[in-house]
Structure 1
Amino acid sequence: MATINFEEYKAQVQQAIELRIKKGLLSDPEGFILIDGFVNIQFQKEMGGAFVIGGPTIPAVAVVGKSSGLVYTFALKALLPNIQI
């Protein structure tokens, strides 16, 4: 997997999220703050007592509602389908 830099894609990510806001897919009266970096959402097929390090993840980005504090995550590939990750 190639290494990608958030700053190279930040403007595209912001545009894609703003489009979703305009479509009414998320709302906050005060607006949103884009978290300045990527987030990896870990997933696993089994749950047990141990914390698993490594394994599959969903590369994502997140925004936080300014007044609500709600954190919304978006799969990076859904926002930017042509990104090479």
Structure 2
Amino acid sequence: MLSALFSSFANFFETSYIVVKKTTGGFITFLFGAIVCVIAQVLLIPLFGLNGAGLAKMLGFLTTFIFRVKDTQKFVVIQIKWRTFIS
């Protein structure tokens, strides 16, 4: 469920790249998330099996989301109340 949640959040910020026609930023942030996901899969699947794959996917989307939040601040300022978000 967390993987789907962070995927949705990351896709929400993807629209900022499309609007300003700078889709390379979206690709680069996706690439960072994919690299984190692959590394996490290699490390977590032997330890946790199928749950490790789900956790790795969640970490990849979380990474993509965080990078996109930071990167899209150049185009659009969206303030996130992190304490509320995390709780």
Q: Which has the higher strand share?
A: 1
Q: TM exceeds 0.5?
A: no
Q: Please report the TM-score for the alignment, with normalisation by the length of structure 2.
A: 0.32
Q: Which has the higher Rg, Structure 1 or Structure 2? A: 1
What is the TM-score when the length of structure 1 is the normalising length? 0.33
Structure with greater helix share of residues = 2
